[in-house]
Chains A and B, each alone.
With several copies, the nearest count.
Chain A
């Protein structure tokens, strides 16, 4: 079943509106949500795929109508609850409590060592690149088809290219496989590829001319065409 996030190719929605001189965050709570997420990801309480998956589980209409960091709150809660560090009842109760005692301080604790570690990770990055022994199955220029199966859960194959033919445009490294990583079922790295799909193949009649889409995929998303 496709999930809420898989929206590439919808037309008719409103215009894209660029905000002039947009701040990095629009409010203090957005700052905190971002920072809390980075800090709890950094503690290993969940991984990036699990973070994404918690957003994708939001029903599609409220997904579309809520703001970006509102969706982060949802997945933050989902993942903290799944990690067992807090319960939804606790969050509910604390929310009520704070609402009745406005201005209550949220408290503070310091962890200088973790803090330095996290900042150096942010500075250095953490690549999902891994070594794999298996040879590549495809080479540049190969015609491929995006696997047409509908994933049951988290996947990084956009729906709009499923079942469509394209050409391998670039060979990428092997990266940790999202479908298993999200389940905590191992990294199972696979070779990755960038595949070029022609617009008329993807969108059919009415596609804009000369506007191919390049999609990055794991090897098991592809079959030979």
Chain B
């Protein structure tokens, strides 16, 4: 067939061209690229946020601090970093459910949740969740009763939000690390509840 190699996508080809030129010009540090990628693939992810939520569920005073100064409370657990410099935690209650979006791009609290999933960055989510949030959440399997206020938070400036989901029933006996396992990424964005044990 005249081909020695598999087809390559154009974005892939273009990215290689950029990397190759920047290396050649002495502008790009290849090791920095490698390590940044592995930091977000291996270290910085939603397990961080789950620890924060589990602590808040377990410790009322920590929860108070989290709701008053999320950045500081999160730092108590050794969690901080880029795109988490100014955090606000939003508490779900029987009266209020919170959901987070960034309509203008895809701002997201990297230190606690890692890099955002594809759906969070999709035009469909960004465009629709502000105007038809109950419909979007229902499509995702989360029916929010009309009696409950559904607050949509558009992170259009420098605050990054995480949702503090409600603690599931029947978890009184669980230790903090067991509680953390119930806290999904999606529950901290507000498109799901925490899992029940």
Binding site for B on A (CB under 8 A): 5-19, 22, 24-29, 31-36, 38-40, 42-43, 45, 52, 55, 60-61, 64-65, 67-70, 73, 76-77, 80, 85-86, 90-91, 94-95, 97-100, 102-104, 106-112, 114-115, 118-119, 121-129, 156-158, 160, 170, 172-173, 175, 192, 194, 202-203, 207-218
Contact = CB atoms under 8 A, between A and B. Distances in A.
25 contacts: A8-B104, A8-B154, A11-B132, A12-B7, A14-B124, A15-B139, A17-B119, A17-B124, A27-B9, A32-B33, A32-B37, A40-B27, A61-B10, A68-B106, A68-B121, A69-B11, A91-B18, A114-B29, A115-B31, A121-B82, A125-B82, A172-B158, A208-B135, A210-B150, A211-B134
Given A6-B104, A19-B118, A211-B150, 18 more contacts: A6-B103, A12-B5, A19-B117, A24-B45, A24-B115, A28-B12, A32-B15, A32-B19, A35-B34, A68-B121, A86-B22, A98-B16, A106-B23, A107-B24, A109-B23, A119-B39, A125-B83, A127-B86
A206 B131 CA distance: 10
Given A8-B154, A85-B27, A215-B154, A208 B134 contact: yes
A98 B85 contact: no
A14 B149 CA distance: 25
A111 to B, nearest CB: 4
Contacts of B8: 12-13, 99, 102
A217 B85 contact: no
B18 A73 contact: yes
A106 B17 CA distance: 8
B165 interface: no
Interface in B105-140: 105-106, 111, 114-115, 117-119, 121-136, 139-140
A124 to B, nearest CB: 6
Contact of B133 (A65, A173, A211): A211
Interface of B: 2, 4-5, 7-37, 39-41, 45, 80-86, 88, 101, 103-106, 111, 114-115, 117-119, 121-136, 139-140, 146, 148-159, 186, 191
Contacts of A19: 117-119
Given A18-B140, A73-B11, A212-B149, A31 B37 contact: yes
B33 A36 contact: yes
B32 A114 contact: yes
Contacts of B12: 27-29
A158 B156 contact: yes
B21 A36 contact: no
